[in-house]
């Protein structure tokens, strides 16, 4: 699916379903979107810069340009993740739909919903009245997804939520049965504690018989992993740099982004890729909204994102502990990526 910027603007009301002209789709604004977004962003940056080691919340990587760059990353030859997951969905979407039966699809961190297309086609075979509820902090990605889905699947009703994962749970009380989707190994961006809390919350909000489809990147050779996050075209580097461009634009941070370097390396002990912005020169990062300044030393690295890599033998017991049972495990011949179809017990 291609991004189509012609998606109509929503009315400025917040918290109410806003019908998108000429379609059956609606875009909901979660309550967090009604708060002062710059203040929330500034507070998150300040908290991250006070932490040791310093780190930033990766959710802020996804403004309009960040979402566009992420899509470009998925098309880089080194970035095997999206291609491998897409091929699994292409091959097994019909099997997945047969295993779950008809369901409303709720997707966390849906982005442009490109791969979801396979599932929408499979579920449309069950009923022409499929409902799809994508949730994402990126307004531009949601609009692009709605537009593309309306074109490719005119009968699918899209109810999109512009908000956080946390805010998505409010939707769960209104629909059943559910197939909750968490694709793209996005869960790998959460640390161990965050992902355990997230899985627990997903399980708590699903009813027995509902399903959860989880896409995870499996542990593999360090060289392959590091290449995926250091593409030769420099798109991953631009994605990291864009977080600081966003800070300059939205927070007035006055960072010289030419003095930043993208550093992505595999930590074998933690079994995760760690992405940093390294400051080549000392700089002062300003947060005028909070009247705060932070001195960053030459050579200092700020963690912008982690991407954890998984072993099925440790992930499965974790999912069982929170109340899921495995219906089917789908993986490719090289065992690079896995889709776990889980049922709430």
Strands 260-267 and 211-217: unpaired
Q: Which is closer to ligand SAM, CB of 113 or CB of 283?
A: 113
Spatial CA neighbour of 179 closest among 114, 116, 107, 129 = 107
Question: Under the criterion CB under 6 A, does residue 109 sit at the interface with ligand SAM?
Answer: yes
Minimum CB distance to ligand SAM smaller for 86 or for 156? 86
- Using the contact rule CB under 6 A, the part of the chain among 40-48, 106-114, 296-304, 315-323 near ligand SAM is 106-114
Question: Are 87 and 332 in contact, with CB atoms under 8 Å apart?
Answer: yes
Site for ligand SAM in 150-189 (CB under 6 A): 164-165, 183-184, 186
Q: Which of 14, 24, 54, 59 binds ligand SAM (CB under 6 A)?
A: 59
Query: Left (φ > 0), alpha (ψ -120 to 50) or beta: where does 159 sit?
Result: beta
Number of chain residues interacting with ligand SAM (CB under 6 A): 20
CB of 139 to ligand SAM, least distance (A): 9
For every residue of 74-100, DSSP letters joined together read HTSTT-HHHHHHHHHHHHHHHHHHHHH
Does residue 131 sit in helix, strand or coil?
strand
Q: How far is the CB of 260 from ligand SAM (least distance, A)?
A: 21
Residues 6+ apart with CB under 8 A from 194: none
Could you count the other beta carbons within 10 Å of the beta carbon of residue 121? Answer: 17
Does position 195 interact with ligand SAM (CB under 6 A)? The reply is no
Token pair listed for 80? 């095997």
Kind of pairing between the strands at 301-308 and 272-279: antiparallel
CB of 265 to ligand SAM, least distance (A): 19
When binding is defined by CB under 6 A, the residue of 28, 33, 48, 62 that contacts ligand SAM is 62
In the region spanning residues 111 to 140, those forming contacts with ligand SAM, defined by CB under 6 A, are 111, 115, 135-138
Residues found near ligand SAM in the complex (CB under 6 A): 59, 62, 67, 70, 74, 82, 109-111, 115, 135-138, 141, 164-165, 183-184, 186
């Amino acid at each position: 699916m291609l991004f189509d910027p012609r998606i109509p603007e929503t009315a400025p009301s917040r918290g109410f379903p806003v019908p998108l002209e000429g379609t059956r789709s609606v875009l909901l604004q979660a309550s967090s979107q009604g708060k002062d977004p710059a203040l929330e962003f500034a507070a998150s940056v300040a908290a991250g810069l006070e932490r040791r080691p310093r780190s930033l919340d990766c959710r802020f990587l996804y403004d309009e340009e960040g979402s566009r760059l992420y899509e470009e990353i998925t098309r880089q030859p080194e970035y095997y993740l999206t291609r491998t997951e897409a091929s699994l969905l292409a091959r097994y979407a019909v099997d997945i739909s047969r295993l779950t039966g008809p369901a409303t699809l709720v997707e966390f961190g849906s982005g442009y919903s490109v791969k979801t297309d396979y599932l929408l086609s499979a579920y449309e075979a069950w009923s022409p009245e499929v409902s799809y509820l994508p949730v994402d902090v990126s307004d531009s990605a949601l609009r692009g997804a709605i537009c593309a889905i309306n074109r490719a699947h005119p009968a699918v009703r899209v109810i999109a939520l512009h908000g956080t994962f946390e805010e998505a749970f409010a939707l769960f009380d209104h629909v059943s049965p559910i197939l909750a989707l968490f694709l793209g190994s996005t869960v790998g961006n959460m640390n161990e504690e965050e992902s355990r809390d997230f899985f627990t919350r997903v399980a708590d909000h699903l009813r027995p018989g509902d399903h959860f489809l989880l896409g995870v990147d499996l542990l593999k050779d360090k060289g392959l992993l590091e290449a995926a996050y250091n593409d030769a075209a420099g798109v991953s580097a631009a994605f990291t740099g864009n977080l600081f461009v966003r800070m300059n634009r939205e927070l007035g941070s006055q960072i010289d982004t030419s003095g930043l370097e993208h550093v992505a390396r595999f930590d074998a002990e933690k079994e995760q890729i760690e992405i940093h912005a390294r400051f080549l020169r000392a700089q002062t990062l300003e947060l005028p909204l909070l009247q705060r300044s932070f001195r960053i030393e030459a050579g200092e690295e700020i963690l912008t994102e982690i991407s954890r890599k998984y072993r099925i033998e440790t992930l499965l017991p974790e999912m069982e502990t929170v109340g899921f049972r495995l219906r089917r495990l789908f993986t490719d011949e090289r065992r690079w990526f896995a889709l776990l179809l889980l049922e709430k017990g």
